[in-house]
Structure 1
């Protein structure tokens, strides 16, 4: 009986591993000859070229397994986020066959579009005085709470519709990882539709931005 149980367990383990998706897995300089990773529950492979700007511009290349929330279908897509002091843009390509994420995408160069959105100025704790000219795939205005440690601040600006669609899963997206806990955003489609009534505290905003700067510089050094 014990031999039968062990045999069935081995067959199940082998069949489970055989059915799992394999994706190339690397980051930045490691992507010259990337190893293959066995995905767990992810159903897609992704290759992404990301640029995060906060005082300095940090380019990132990422290849890995991706959940359906980030890659709902195969093909290319662009993510874009602009909160004035903090900007992030990404080109992603999703695929669903073993080790299909071989391509390294060019970094996005978004051009201004017709949408304008309010943004928050952390130096004066005012969210309706500054306006942003949105770029590229940014076709929504947004406002969102970002928490790092015990500090929560309100951010607003321009975003692409697919970022809004991710809802409360924004923190898991590679281009926004490390920026704290991000709440479900409130998004709208017309210029200057994201006016806010809540005023963030100076200490909260500045502590948050300092945390983002430290993370960005550490990533750049790595």
Structure 2
């Protein structure tokens, strides 16, 4: 009797636990603005998301999109904005709370150009040594911190880049660093400093 009660309670808890978790579409397109997605079961206390990313190096722009379960806290606002003379990275996360609700496509809000009141040193060089420059850039909107980065990436065109750059970044960018990038994959970080 007790054994069957415990078994029934265990089954009820398992059903309740899975009932609380969302199903979300999951897919990734490293160099494009659409992906269809397959439905997956998410962990409890997560939401469905669509992550849109813009990555620009000089005149080449890559768009990336990812759908899945949201492991982050912030939704429906730009999480991370960094731009500097030759490079720009922006990420926007949309979230929703119904099964397979993340059907929306790529969306990147226009970059607000109001000056944040902060100016940062700016430079960009190939290679794994710190770049130097006398130039500064006026940071915009939510970018109220300066950063210094030295590391190695693979871009969406499968080009491996060793580079050093400085510029403006948002506070969330300092927290997430480059771990949030979709189309661009970080291979190695030698330096990441925010100030």
Native 8 Å contact 1:120 1:156 kept in 2: yes
Q: How does 1:78-97 map to 2 (within 5 A)?
A: 78-97=79-98
For these two proteins, the number of residue pairs brought into alignment is 180
The Cα of 1:75 is off from its aligned counterpart by 3.5
Change (3 A) 1:34 1:135: same
Is 2:70 the partner of 1:66?
A: yes
Task: Encode CA deviations 1:96-120: one digit per residue, 9 max, x unaligned.
Answer: 4432323335323324332321123
2: CA distance between counterparts of 1:39 and 1:63?
12
Task: Encode CA deviations 1:36-81: one digit per residue, 9 max, x unaligned.
Answer: 222247723211221101241011222211213xxx1444334211
1: CA distance between counterparts of 2:24 and 2:37?
10
Is 2:139 the partner of 1:134?
A: yes
What is residue 165 of structure 1 aligned with on the other side?
A: 175
1: CA distance between counterparts of 2:57 and 2:162?
19
Change (3 A) 1:176 1:113: farther
Native 8 Å contact 2:77 2:94 kept in 1: yes
TM-score between the two structures when normalised by the length of structure 1: 0.60
Native 8 Å contact 2:54 2:90 kept in 1: yes
Question: Which one has the bigger strand percentage?
Answer: 2
Unaligned runs of 5+ in 1: 189-222
2: CA distance between counterparts of 1:160 and 1:86?
15
What is the Cα-based RMSD across aligned positions, in Å?
A: 3.8
TM-score between the two structures when normalised by the length of structure 2: 0.67
2: CA distance between counterparts of 1:145 and 1:95?
35
Task: Give SS of 2:66's match.
Answer: strand
Question: Which one has the bigger helix percentage?
Answer: 1
Select the residue among 97, 116, 120 that pairs with 1:117.
Answer: 120
